Amino acid sequence: MNLTLKVWRQKNGQSAGHFDTYPARDVIEDMSFLEMLDVVNEDLIAAGKDPIAFDSDCREGICGMCSLVINGVPHGGHRGTATCQLHMRHFKDGETITIEPWRAEAFPIIKDVAVNRAAFDRIMQAGGFISVNTGGTPDGNAIPISKAVADKSMDAAACIGCGACVAACKNASAMLFVAAKVSQLNLLPQGEPEKHRRALAMVTQMDKEGFGSCTVTGSCEAVCPKEISLSFIAKLNRDYGIGALLGK
Amino acid sequence: MALESNIPSGPLAQKWDKHKFDIKLVNPANKRKFDVIVVGSGLAGASAAATLGELGYKVKCFCYQDSPRRAHSIAAQGGINAAKNYQNDGDSVHRLFYDTIKGGDFRAREANVYRLAQVSVNIIDQCVAQGVPFAREYGGLLSNRSFGGAQVSRTFYARGQTGQQLLLGAYSALCRQIGMGTVKMYPRTEMLDVVVIDGHAKGIIVRDLVSGEISSHAADAVVLATGGYGNVFFLSTNAKGCNATAIWRAYKKGAYLANPCYTQIHPTCIPVSGEHQSKLTLMSESLRNDGRVWVPKKKEDCDKAPGSIAEDDRDYYLERKYPSYGNLAPRDISSRAAKEACDQGRGVGPGKLGVYLDFADAIKRLGLNVIRERYGNLFDMYEKITGENAYQVPMRIYPAVHYTMGGTWVDYNLMSTLPGLFVLGEANFSDHGANRLGASALMQGLADGYFVLPYTIGNYFASSKQAKPSSSHAEFKRAEEEVRKFTQRLLSIKGKRTPTSLHRELGKLLWEKCGMGRNAAGLKEALKRIPELREEFWKTVNVTGEAMEFNQALEYAGRVADFMEFGELMCLDALDRNESCGGHFREEFQTPDGEAARNDEKYAYVAAWEFRGQNQAPVMHKETLEYTEVHMSTRSYK
Ligand SMILES: Cc1cc2nc3c(=O)[nH]c(=O)nc-3n(C[C@H](O)[C@H](O)[C@H](O)COP(=O)(O)OP(=O)(O)OC[C@H]3O[C@@H](n4cnc5c(N)ncnc54)[C@H](O)[C@@H]3O)c2cc1C
């Protein structure tokens, strides 16, 4: 099939961006979206032009590095699918596809459609951990954890930190990301001792980074490639509330 | 230089404890006087950086991704081994040790492997304490599954995302240290050289991938945890950015490379679908717990719908050939068996390069829900890529490059032949011999980072008593200049070929001549062709853009340039080893029934290659492998 791409081009963080239009020829169904872009980039290089800068690494939907807004939807709008796992069989011959970066103040553009998501790391550094050092930990089976709890924790832990939730949110809120991490740890007995402190610290850092506030529209959940549930936000709010009350 | 493995004396089971007692310590107050550079933030790098930070060292950690959480360890699916014997099925440290040595086809260093099996139990405890949500049984205890090459259930897992969860555990520990100021993190920063002063590694040269700035970082020791070199084949299950640059440039500075020809071809990957293919996707080995591998008995049946082929007309070749391990035969053996079936013209799917992995029986026996629970995310991934529903039709799989057992040579302390340069995880050669067993790479990465290096690096500091390095030393300036020149050279060619097309060509050559099967004639051909291709690269590559900007083409071209050299060493190593062992299958050396024929008399050694200068033949040094506790038997899974 032949497609037309409208791609956001921006030289760097300081300059203004614009859309450029490129043809994508002889695209086949089995290509992934990024493989389609690879081919377009090969053509651009051959024509002596600057290839489109976009992030990707594992190309298996797990590293969270890829990040495109495709036709207005982060990751292109296929349930539980990251951009790198989106395949061209979902597009039709002759279609025009718009490709943009994550747009959020807390995610400044580096070049074209690649953005800086270091804000997520800083939120993690504020409290996204259990305070144990290496060594001297009890036997793995010392604390039984019910399967239901372990599974729920795993549901939250599946977050890949891609930032699609932020990109989809009209307020560019990072609540789903923070809720996922807080829930993973706070659901487990190991995470219990620090649970209020953790929620408070991570939310405080999130606010500092310039993410907006959550109005629970659910747009984040809808685009999440790991289908992280909105209900974790409720858990975060509860742990945060008590944390704020206790002041720690 | 003679290779000194520094294996402690004494009985195998006591070596590590004895060594920990014998080695020198750095007292807690002095630790902050030592700067350590850790390159890589995968399981090995993140666990090392976090642990060193906790101990009080001043750590700098580097990775090329935008966040340490994205290192390729994230993609590991199936699980991590540990000799916990929670299943009471006869596992023990000794059995895990033995399975790993045997799995590695008796080409790994005994003392390292024993230590690995010993610390495996601590890893699980550590990860649980960090909040890694491992799978649990209804009673609340940890669950296990089986992996290839083992007859016990010792693999711990977190759905099909074990690597992700272990890495996020290590990353959270790293984040904690970054927050506390003991570790400084440099994401989107690529190491491009090691700096050597007075014979010791004293720092690195890096390029800031966003600004393009090249800078120097000095330290008392440098740790490389930069992962494997599988991408030398272009197509592999590795992430796009995985590379050999760090270990290759360290090699040129004196860190020998060991067994580069030992590469692992994983039997269960999604087959190639076309020329556009940018990478291959693994379907976890854990699927072989319940899936049955087969091809039609008759060539004529290959184009038929699999469901229409009668039971009697199917060849469950792993079960037939290896009845005691069946579908869980080790990777090298399963891969070769798949190739053999396809070479006989009995492959399925486009291009006939595929075999079936069929879940119909398991679904009948256990129900759809159990299978969904165990492997749901893998079935989803399969459907996204192929458009097929594997609950209804069997998966199609084919072997693909997956892991590299070879890597920088290290001694028992994980130090390379370049003093002060330590190498961990997939980047080193140490524990898997000629073939790695499933679920053992995660174990090794975390063992190295959490439980081995933090001890051994202290011994280096306490005993080597080196002068404090400074990044204003002339050596740093010189190395920076070299890196700048290299970058400029890449940018100045502006030829006709893209880095991708050249890389693809190299990869195809290596896959054909130094892949699943190798022979002397093919290797010699490759050794002739690679230098030509390299020359072509340096004449015709077109690297767009500039040095001082975010330039992905430039990053990539630099990695390809190194692969162009690395591939040659791989073939040289493969040609030298006139035997078959593990993942290294030399077609001239096989048993009458087509199994690998090892030659212990001549080749029971580690081949460690020394760089002697650009365009000069490298020199091979041998570390003889001695086994005190195991008998070097013929590896049989029949
Ligand atoms: C698809 C897949 C599935 C797997 N499943 C399993 C499994 O189930 N069980 C198992 O045990 N093993 C598995 N493995 C193998 C295992 O995941 C890897 O061997 C292991 O995770 C490697 O860890 P590492 O820390 O050594 O390297 P990596 O995780 O690859 O990390 C390398 C780090 O080095 C950095 N880096 C590299 N070069 C540079 C440079 N020049 N400058 C700066 N930074 C650099 C990267 O940014 C990254 O942070 C799997 C592998 C793959 C590919």
pLDDT digits (tens, 9 = 90+) for B454-500: 999 999 999 998 888 899 999 999 999 999 999 999 999 999 999 99
Contact assignment for A132 to B67 by CB distance below 8 Å = no
Q: Which residues of A touch B140 (CB under 8 A)?
A: 144-147
Contact assignment for B54 to A133 by CB distance below 8 Å = yes
Is residue B457 one of the residues assigned to a domain? yes
> Do the beta carbons of residue A132 and residue B131 sit within 8 Å?
no
Residue type at A185 in one-letter notation? L
Q: Which two tokens stand for residue A240?
A: 């945060």
Average pLDDT, chain A: 97
* End residue of a domain, out of B377, B401, B425: B401
Cβ-based burial of B316 (10 A; exposed 0-12, middle 13-18, buried ≥19): middle
* End residue of a domain, out of A94, A111, A128: A111
Same domain, B90 and B225: yes
Same domain, B129 and B25: yes
What CA–CA distances, in Å, run from B235 to A184, B220, B231, B278, B311?
A: 35, 37, 6, 7, 34
Q: How far is B125 from chain A (nearest CA, A)?
A: 4
> Do the beta carbons of residue B594 and residue B580 sit within 8 Å?
no
Atom index in ligand 1 nearest the CA of residue B79 equals 8
Q: Ligand 1 center to residue B404 CA distance, Å?
A: 10
Res. B2: pLDDT tops 90: no
Three-state secondary structure readout of B314-361: EECHHHHHCCCCHHHCCHHHHHHHHHHHHHCCCCCCHHHCCEEEECHH
Residue type at B24 in one-letter notation? K
> Do the beta carbons of residue B63 and residue B189 sit within 8 Å?
yes
Residue B527: give its domain's CATH number.
1.20.58.100
The predicted pLDDT at position B1 comes to 66
Least confident of A104-113, A230-239, B172-181, B593-602: B593-602
Other CB atoms within a 10 A radius of the CB of residue B613 amount to 8
The predicted pLDDT at position A227 comes to 97
Where in the sequence is the domain holding B380, given as residue range(s)? Answer: 265-401
SS3 B630: coil
Atom index in ligand 1 nearest the CA of residue B206 equals 42
Q: Which residues of B touch A56 (CB under 8 A)?
A: 240
Res. B149: pLDDT tops 80: no
* % of chain B surpassing 70 pLDDT: 100
Q: What angle do CA B189, B405, B15 make, to 5 degrees?
A: 100
Residue of B nearest to A198 (CA): B176
> Do the beta carbons of residue A56 and residue B299 sit within 8 Å?
no
The count of structural domains within chain A is: 2
Mean pLDDT, residues B369-377 taken together = 89
Q: Which is it for the CA torsion B333, B111, B117, B38, positive or negative?
A: negative
Same domain, A67 and A122: no
Length of chain B (residues): 638
Same domain, B256 and B297: no
Same domain, B84 and B150: yes
Question: Global pTM?
Answer: 0.97
Same domain, A99 and A131: no
The predicted pLDDT at position A248 comes to 65
DSSP letters, A88-147, are GGGS-TT-EEEEE----TTS-EEETTEE--HHHHHHHHHH-S----SS-PPPTTSS---H
Reported as a pLDDT band with limits 50, 70 and 90, residue B114 is very high
Same domain, B280 and B386: yes
* End residue of a domain, out of A88, A111, A134: A111
Q: What angle do CA B175, B181, B186 make, to 5 degrees?
A: 65
Contact assignment for A62 to B75 by CB distance below 8 Å = yes
Q: Which residues of B touch A64 (CB under 8 A)?
A: 67, 69-70, 74
The predicted pLDDT at position B373 comes to 85
Same domain, B156 and B91: yes
Q: Are strands B200-208 and B189-197 parallel, antiparallel or unpaired?
A: antiparallel
Cβ-based burial of A73 (10 A; exposed 0-12, middle 13-18, buried ≥19): middle
Least confident of A149-163, A206-220, B283-297, B599-613: B283-297
Mean pLDDT, residues B56-62 taken together = 98
Does any CB of chain A come closer than 8 Å to the CB of residue B548?
Answer: no
Q: Are strands B58-62 and B183-186 parallel, antiparallel or unpaired?
A: parallel
Mean pLDDT, residues B612-632 taken together = 95
Same domain, B288 and B334: yes
The predicted pLDDT at position B593 comes to 83
- φ, ψ dihedrals at A6, nearest 5°: -110, 110
Res. B146: pLDDT tops 90: no
Catalytic residue numbers of B read: 331
Same domain, B299 and B413: no
Other CB atoms within a 10 A radius of the CB of residue B601 amount to 7
- φ, ψ dihedrals at B480, nearest 5°: -60, -45
* End residue of a domain, out of A111, A141, A176: A111
Beta bridge partners of B581: B584
Residue B389: give its domain's CATH number.
3.90.700.10
The count of structural domains within chain B is: 3
Q: Which residues of A touch B240 (CB under 8 A)?
A: 56-59
pLDDT digits (tens, 9 = 90+) for B513-561: 999 999 999 999 999 999 999 999 999 999 999 999 999 999 999 999 9
Q: Ligand 1 center to residue B164 CA distance, Å?
A: 11
Same domain, B488 and B524: yes
Where in the sequence is the domain holding A62, given as residue range(s)? Answer: 3-111
Length of chain A (residues): 248
Contact assignment for A150 to B136 by CB distance below 8 Å = yes
Same domain, A143 and A168: yes
Is residue B624 one of the residues assigned to a domain? no
> Do the beta carbons of residue A232 and residue A156 sit within 8 Å?
yes
Residue A94: give its domain's CATH number.
3.10.20.30
First and final CA of chain A: distance in angstroms? 58
Nearest C-alpha to atom 51 of ligand 1 is from which residue? Answer: B76
| Pocket-testing residue among B73, B238, B414, ligand 1, by greatest number of atoms within 8 A of Cβ | B73
3-state helix, strand, coil in chain A (%, to 5): 40, 15, 45
The predicted pLDDT at position B465 comes to 87
pLDDT digits (tens, 9 = 90+) for B401-425: 999 999 999 999 999 999 999 999 9
Same domain, A106 and A181: no
Same domain, B170 and B291: no
Q: What is the rounded CA–CA span in Å between residue B85 and residue B8?
A: 27
Q: Are strands A109-111 and A96-100 parallel, antiparallel or unpaired?
A: unpaired
* % of chain A surpassing 70 pLDDT: 100
Same domain, B110 and B228: yes
Res. A121: pLDDT tops 90: yes
Same domain, B152 and B78: yes
ipTM confidence: 0.98
Q: How far is B40 from chain A (nearest CA, A)?
A: 15
Is residue B635 one of the residues assigned to a domain? no
* End residue of a domain, out of B464, B487, B504: B464
Average pLDDT, chain B: 96
Q: What angle do CA B21, B22, B23 make, to 5 degrees?
A: 100
Residue B119: give its domain's CATH number.
3.50.50.60
Same domain, A96 and A123: no
Q: Which two tokens stand for residue B180?
A: 């506390």
DSSP label of B20: H
DSSP letters, B545-592, are S-SSS--HHHHHHHHHHHHHHHHHHHHHHHHH--S-BTTB-BTTSB-T
Is residue B309 one of the residues assigned to a domain? yes
Res. B11: pLDDT tops 80: yes
Is residue B469 one of the residues assigned to a domain? no
Contact assignment for B161 to A116 by CB distance below 8 Å = no
Q: Name every residue whose Cβ is closer than 8 Å to that of residue A191 and which is 6 or more positions away in sequence.
A: A130, A184, A185, A198, B131
Q: What are the helix (H) ranges across B209-330?
A: 245-252, 317-321
Is residue B631 one of the residues assigned to a domain? no
Same domain, A157 and A64: no
Is residue B417 one of the residues assigned to a domain? yes
Mean pLDDT, residues B246-263 taken together = 98
* End residue of a domain, out of B464, B491, B516: B464
> Do the beta carbons of residue B65 and residue A57 sit within 8 Å?
yes
What CA–CA distances, in Å, run from A199 to A25, A164, A194, A205, B8?
A: 49, 21, 9, 10, 47
Q: What is the rounded CA–CA span in Å between residue B413 and residue B448?
A: 10
Atom index in ligand 1 nearest the CA of residue B46 equals 25
pLDDT digits (tens, 9 = 90+) for A70-102: 999 999 999 999 999 999 999 999 999 999 999
Res. B626: pLDDT tops 90: yes
Beta bridge partners of B39: B62, B224
Residue A224: give its domain's CATH number.
1.10.1060.10
Q: What is the rounded CA–CA span in Å between residue B162 and residue B166?
A: 6
DSSP letters, B83-146, are ---TT-SS--HHHHHHHHHHHTTT-S-HHHHHHHHHHHHHHHHHHHHHT----B-TTSSBP-B-
Residues at CB less than 6 angstroms from ligand 1: B 39-45, 62-65, 71-73, 75-80, 162-163, 190-191, 225-228, 237-238, 242-243, 245-246, 282, 284, 402-403, 425-427, 439-442, 445
Q: What is the rounded CA–CA span in Å between residue B179 and residue A222?
A: 32
pLDDT digits (tens, 9 = 90+) for B88-108: 999 999 999 999 999 999 999
Least confident of B116-130, B179-193, B370-384: B370-384
Torsion of CA B356, B362, B363, B369, to 10 degrees: -120
Is residue B627 one of the residues assigned to a domain? no
